[in-house]
């Protein structure tokens, strides 16, 4: 029967599917347990990212090699490598490895914008945060992952379509932000009637087949709620920070708590809460009318044990025919300045 040292030597030659380094080099074999009387071998293996399609071939190879070495049964548990280990290998990564959006080796900061329900202004927040980060000098991408309710191109006043070069999709750039959306691939605002698995493939294309170039931040405008598409996104990306959008209304905040809980359950970090439509301020009297009530954002942040990043009042951006972007606030607009402050806070939190 094979012993522990032989197990480590045998499996140590296999490569981490993301780092392309051997498990011996990454110290990826974290535990070996053998029951000789039952010819059973249990191993715990650490790799760069778990619960991915890339994990399955490695799992099958481990079972195959251990059985060839004399084991009748094999048990495998996977865990993720510590962050310090990933940092060590990130410095020696190839260009192709760091440019792969889904590789744990890249330095892109993913920020998912989520909400518990539709109609709270999640896409408006996504668009304006992306533009605010770009105005602060950051290289920003934005994926409109709300496949059924895509609206980002219209909100940003995008009139052109992505270009396909070879097998790569070149995203549209608008107001300093690179944008990709289902809206670019649907004719005349037609409804999307695809089922979940097909939508997952589209999202995978947005990550793998789009030529994003060098990015500091990639924002994802998630569909509302905690459905299949939102779950797919959480599982696809290596790590993500999340912002939850709500209105001040208690019911909206109650529902939004589910989206925040989903982020925590999938090991993503909550950056904070943004309360949208917080009040309406009269231009004549400067008095504030709390149209949708008060306190929802504060209570949600407390419940999720995170920060209230900002409160966005009801308003209307200024636009003209030359720079038409119906949902984007200018940097000199009072609400645009609120988005700039939130973006600066995000920079501090992510240290970019």
Q: What CA–CA distance (Å, rounded) separates 232 from 227?
A: 9
**Average per-residue pLDDT in the chain?**
85
Q: Which two tokens stand for residue 185?
A: 């691939």
The pLDDT score that the predictor gives to residue 198 is 62
* Burial of 37 (C-beta count, 10 Å sphere; 0-12/13-18/19+): exposed
Q: What CA–CA distance (Å, rounded) separates 349 from 241?
A: 10
Is the separation of the CB atoms in 48 and 16 below 8 Å? yes
The pLDDT score that the predictor gives to residue 271 is 92
- Residues forming beta bridges with residue 210, ordered by sequence position: 169
In the numeric block, the tokens 């195959």 are attached to 64
* Beta pairing, strands 168-170 & 163-165: antiparallel
- Residues forming beta bridges with residue 227, ordered by sequence position: none
The pLDDT of residue 92 is above 60: no
What percent of the residues of the chain are helix, what percent strand, and what percent coil, each to the nearest 5?
Answer: 35, 25, 40
Domain boundaries, the chain: 4-88, 108-350
CATH superfamily, region 108-350: P-loop containing nucleotide triphosphate hydrolases (3.40.50.300)
Q: Give, in order, the Cα–Cα distances in Å from 239 to each of 30, 63, 106, 124.
A: 22, 28, 11, 23
Mean pLDDT, to the nearest integer, of 38-48?
92
Q: Which two tokens stand for residue 144?
A: 């409109």
Cα–Cα nearest to 207, from 229, 185, 236: 236
Is the separation of the CB atoms in 239 and 110 below 8 Å? yes
H or E segment and range at residue 312: strand 308-312
Cα 103 → chain centroid: 13
Tell me: the pLDDT tens digits for 186-228? 766 555 555 555 656 778 788 888 999 889 999 999 887 655 6
In the numeric block, the tokens 């097909």 are attached to 198
Tell me: the pLDDT tens digits for 139-154? 999 999 887 778 899 9
User: Rounded to the nearest 5°, which phi and psi values hold at 294?
Assistant: -140, 155
Mean pLDDT, to the nearest integer, of 107-120?
86
Cα–Cα nearest to 181, from 205, 150, 202, 158: 150
Q: What CA–CA distance (Å, rounded) separates 74 from 17?
A: 20
Q: What CA–CA distance (Å, rounded) separates 273 from 115?
A: 10
Q: What CA–CA distance (Å, rounded) separates 171 from 132?
A: 19
**Count of CB atoms situated within 10 Å of the CB of 57:** 10
The pLDDT of residue 263 is above 80: no
The pLDDT score that the predictor gives to residue 100 is 67
Tell me: the pLDDT tens digits for 279-328? 998 888 989 999 999 998 999 999 888 999 999 999 988 877 667 788 99
In the numeric block, the tokens 């059985």 are attached to 67
Cα–Cα nearest to 108, from 178, 60, 53, 58: 178
In the numeric block, the tokens 């290596």 are attached to 238
Q: Which distant-in-sequence residues (6+ apart) come within 8 Å of 26 by Cβ?
A: 16, 19, 46, 47, 81, 85, 89
> What kind of fold does domain 4-88 have according to CATH?
GMP Synthetase; Chain A, domain 3 (3.30.300)
Share of the chain above pLDDT 70, in %: 87
Q: Which residue has the higher pLDDT, 48 or 276?
A: 276
- Residues forming beta bridges with residue 41, ordered by sequence position: 34, 74
The pLDDT score that the predictor gives to residue 98 is 47
The pLDDT of residue 96 is above 70: no
């Amino acid at each position: 029967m094979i012993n522990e040292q032989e197990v480590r030597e045998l499996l140590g030659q296999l490569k981490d599917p993301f780092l392309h380094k051997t498990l011996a080099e990454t110290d990826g074999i974290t535990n070996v347990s053998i029951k000789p009387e039952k010819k059973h071998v249990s191993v715990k293996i650490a790799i760069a990212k778990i619960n991915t399609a890339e994990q399955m071939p490695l799992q099958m190879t481990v079972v195959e090699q251990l059985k060839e070495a004399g084991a009748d049964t094999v048990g495998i548990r996977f865990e993720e490598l510590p962050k310090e280990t990933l940092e060590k290998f990130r410095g020696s990564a190839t260009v192709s490895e760091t440019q792969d959006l889904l590789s744990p080796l890249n330095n892109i900061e993913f920020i998912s914008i989520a909400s518990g329900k539709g109609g709270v202004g999640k896409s408006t927040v996504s668009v304006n945060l992306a533009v605010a980060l770009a105005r602060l000098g950051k290289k920003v991408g934005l994926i409109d992952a709300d496949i059924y309710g895509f609206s980002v191109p219209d909100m940003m006043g995008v009139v052109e379509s992505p270009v396909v070069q070879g097998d790569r999709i070149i995203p549209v750039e608008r107001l300093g932000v690179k944008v990709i959306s289902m809206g670019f691939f649907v004719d005349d605002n037609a409804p999307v009637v695809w089922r979940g698995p097909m939508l997952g493939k589209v999202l995978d294309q947005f990550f793998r087949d789009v030529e994003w170039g060098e990015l500091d931040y990639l924002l994802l405008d998630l569909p509302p709620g905690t459905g299949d598409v939102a779950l797919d996104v959480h599982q696809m990306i290596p790590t993500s920070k999340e912002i939850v959008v709500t209105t001040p209304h208690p019911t909206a905040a109650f529902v939004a708590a589910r989206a925040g809980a989903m982020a925590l359950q999938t090991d993503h970090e909550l950056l904070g809460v943004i309360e949208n439509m917080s009040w309406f301020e009269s231009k004549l009297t400067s008095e504030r009318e709390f149209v949708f009530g008060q306190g929802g954002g504060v209570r949600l942040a407390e419940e999720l044990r995170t920060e209230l990043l900002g409160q966005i009042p009801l308003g209307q951006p200024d636009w003209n025919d030359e720079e038409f972007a119906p949902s984007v606030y200018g940097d000199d607009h009072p609400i645009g300045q609120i988005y700039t402050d939130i973006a600066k806070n995000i920079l501090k939190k992510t240290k970019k």
